[in-house]
Amino acid sequence: MGNRFICMLKKDTKETGSRSKRMSRSQRKLAAEEDLLHRQALSRVLHQHQMSQRFDGSMSRRVGGSTSSRRLALSDPLSNGKQGPEFLEKLTSKKFILVHGEGFGAWCWYKTIALLEEAGLLPITFDLKGSGIDLTDTNSVITLEEYSRPLIDYLQNLPEDEKVILVGHSSGGACVSYAMEHFSQKISKTVFICATMVSDGQRPFDVFAAELGSAEQFMQGSKFLIHGNGKEKPPTGFMFEKEQMKGLYFNQSNAKDVALAMVSMRPIPLGPIMEKLSLTPENYGSSRRFFIQTLDDRALPSDVQEKLVRENPPEGVYKIKGSDHCPFFSKPQSLHKMLLEIAQIP
């Protein structure tokens, strides 16, 4: 009996060790796949930016548009490579316009760009005025229209019979809302990713009031304010300290993406997010809206996102567990899957 028990124990120990080795291999594989996605996507976006600088000199550019023949090996089987022709035929639009939020630039979408391209879609993104590698002085950007100019120019030049899917992140929700009001006939759907989905007469800043206090209090004494025209003049922008940004925006993002953000984030123009939006039922109200909630978000907490959804109900609401304020970093496959689902809704 004793010998039999020892043999059984040895067998169990061996099997446990084998399972541990398998788990370790699986974890290593996932890490390698994520690293591959990171390197290939970042390389692609940086290449696009370099090309746009070399030939045009303008810093607000389209990124994407050509689908790579190489497929990325992803851990999420629902977002693995190109979709079949049946999937693409169902779509009313293959163009995704990705609009970044405050302090970010086109660079932040690099994983989403790669995933959408691999699905056979056309991701397009811009540096808003004074953002990313756009050369405009942030302090000179006063209005939401000026801030959104690269998006506006693109939609104005879009053929009348063509529609796009707009995607806005964080305060980029104000830019896509502005676009919905003025170009509703050119927009198939709009997706707000933990974004400022405001009501008529509301300021984008008001959404962040729970974290930053009232606009009046913030303008009077915040240590994050920037006075680009001199201390005696009204503030022109603001920017969080690096450690505060890490805690607010990137609490679930990996170290590489946080490092990229720390060297790429720029001050936020104050005028556009303090501007009250004028939104009408005929234009903004006629557009199809979807909201993606990020459930581990410290910049825009879940209760604030729930409030936005209650006060301005969209057609559909999606939720990403374990995502911080930047799901394009912390949960890129989950975000990608939801964008594909929304794109397919008739």
CB of 257 within 8 A of CB of 331? no
CB burial of 105-142 (b: ≥16 within 10 Å; e: otherwise) equals bbbbbbbbbbbbbbbbbbbbbbbbbbbbbbebebbebb
Token pair recorded at residue 273: 């997010």
Active site residue 257: no
Which among 297, 324, 334, 336 is annotated as catalytic? 297
Which among 325, 330, 334, 336 is annotated as catalytic? 325
**Which string of DSSP letters, residue by residue, matches 237-280?**
EE---HHHHHHHH-TTS-HHHHHHHHHH--PEEHHHHTSPP---
Which among 52, 79, 93, 170 is annotated as catalytic? 170
CB burial of 62-90 (b: ≥16 within 10 Å; e: otherwise) equals bbbeeeeeeebebeeeebbebbeeeeeee
Contact residues for 336 (Cβ-Cβ < 8 A; gap 6+) = 76, 79, 112, 115, 116, 119
Active site residue 297: yes
Active site residue 303: no
Helix boundaries (H) for 56-148: 85-90, 110-118, 144-147
Q: What is the dihedral of CA 55, 106, 126, 187, to 10 degrees?
A: 140
Contact residues for 83 (Cβ-Cβ < 8 A; gap 6+) = 119, 120, 340
Catalytic residues: 170, 297, 325
